[in-house]
Amino acid sequence: MQAERGQHHRSVEVLASKLRRRQIVGSRTAALETLVVLRQVVSRARFSNFEQLVEIIRGVGRRLVEAQPKEHSVGNTVRKVLHHIREEYQTAVGQTGPQAGTSTSGFSISKFVLQGQPRRHVPAQKTEVKTTLKEDDPEDPDSFSKGLKPVLMEAIQDVLDELETVYDNVSKNARDHIHPDEIILTLGRSKTVETFLKTAAHNRHYTVIVAETGPSYDGREMAKSLSSAGISTFLVPDSSIFSLMSRVNKVILGAHVILANGGMFAITGSLIAATAAKAHSTPVVVCAGQFKLTPLWNLYHEYGAVDFGNPSDVLGFNEGELVNKVDVVNPYYDYVAPEFIDAYITNDGDHPPSSIYRLLKETYDDEDNEL
């Protein structure tokens, strides 16, 4: 198996170093790249039983996550792929476990407890597998992988399709969230939020206030893009977020990571906006793809999690005398606690922060939380 991993080493290592060097940034791009690499790895992988396959994929996941722990969508994508592969595998071997029943019907607390338990099918499998796929076949060790591969590719393709349509799916109910003549406040330049607002503009006439969002000033780009789509747009400095909040009907934010507790990491300034919204009882809605769901509860305990960037965005390097005397703290993200958020709009429906944990259970397998 060591040798097998060596084969994919290169594409994995290239992605790992790109992630490290921040040549690939943005949750969706990272997720897409991860999928492409995973597809390569799986298509070339040689394994004679299912555990080996899972171990190979996990190995890749570990390597990538280790390279850039702050790009959580990478780990999430790997988890998602593992989840899908397990499902496909089970259908392929024709197994009907307790999960088959629960996953289709609705959730309840009692079933949740049941689902939270580790899968028990593994020892039972061996007897049933023989009908279609044979694991650990001593005569033809490749037969298992040959039989399973088309299914695996399909599973990965499903995840890829989901990622590629994520913006549209998040936006499909946009008109239900934005009402005529509302004033919406947003900040930063989230592709999801941008598509969401533009889609809503097809049916609704409303106004968007975009905060500049220093120090990246992504808001300027956002405002340009929105107004070119025919939406009436105001660009305001970050300092006026609070004073304008009384006029705002809804705050729509993008997210970097959605945590299991219902909180999220989003671009710097989101916390200010969310706090101001709380003070004015203005609803805060977060638009995000499902791939941002991360099975972590207390990431915000970690100081470095907000990703401290380069001080040069805030203080010019040419301010020679100041550079020596001033410590600049330039976090890229804010942690927004669940109590500030009213709803998450995802490609998998709308959810309150309090049910994010359930969504997570549905999306990933518990055993993959630690890759």
Contact set with another protein (CB under 8 A): 6, 9-14, 17-18, 20-23, 70, 303-304, 308-312, 317-321, 323-324, 327-328, 330
Q: Which amino acid is at 112?
A: F
How crowded is residue 2: how many other Cβ atoms within 10 Å of its Cβ? 5
Helix (H) or strand (E) holding 257: strand 257-259
**Residue 226: Cβ-neighbour burial (10 angstroms; 0-12, 13-18, 19+):** buried
Cα separation, 209 vs 282, whole angstroms:
14
Q: What is the DSSP letter of 229?
A: T
How crowded is residue 308: how many other Cβ atoms within 10 Å of its Cβ? 14
Q: Which amino acid is at 289?
A: G
**109 or 329: whose CB is closer to another protein?**
329
**139 or 321: whose CB is closer to another protein?**
321
Residues 6+ apart with CB under 8 A from 354: 262, 338
Nearest distance from C-beta of residue 262 to another protein, angstroms:
25
Residue 210 · residue 234 · CB < 8 Å: yes
**279 or 326: whose CB is closer to another protein?**
326
Nearest distance from C-beta of residue 195 to another protein, angstroms:
24
**13 or 55: whose CB is closer to another protein?**
13
| Strands 232-236 vs 343-346: parallel, antiparallel or unpaired | unpaired
Tokens for 66, please give them: 């280790």
Nearest distance from C-beta of residue 328 to another protein, angstroms:
7
Nearest distance from C-beta of residue 23 to another protein, angstroms:
8
Nearest distance from C-beta of residue 334 to another protein, angstroms:
16
Tokens for 80, please give them: 């998602």
Cα separation, 24 vs 15, whole angstroms:
8
Cα separation, 351 vs 264, whole angstroms:
14
Nearest distance from C-beta of residue 236 to another protein, angstroms:
26
**181 or 319: whose CB is closer to another protein?**
319
Residue where the block lists tokens 């025919």: 230
Cα separation, 174 vs 3, whole angstroms:
49
**116 or 303: whose CB is closer to another protein?**
303
**136 or 319: whose CB is closer to another protein?**
319
**10 or 146: whose CB is closer to another protein?**
10
Tokens for 371, please give them: 């890759």
**18 or 121: whose CB is closer to another protein?**
18
**217 or 234: whose CB is closer to another protein?**
217
Closest CA to 181 of 199, 203, 198: 203
Cα separation, 249 vs 179, whole angstroms:
9
Residue 283 · residue 320 · CB < 8 Å: no
Nearest distance from C-beta of residue 215 to another protein, angstroms:
13
Going 270 to 276 to 205 to 229, the CA torsion angle's sign is negative
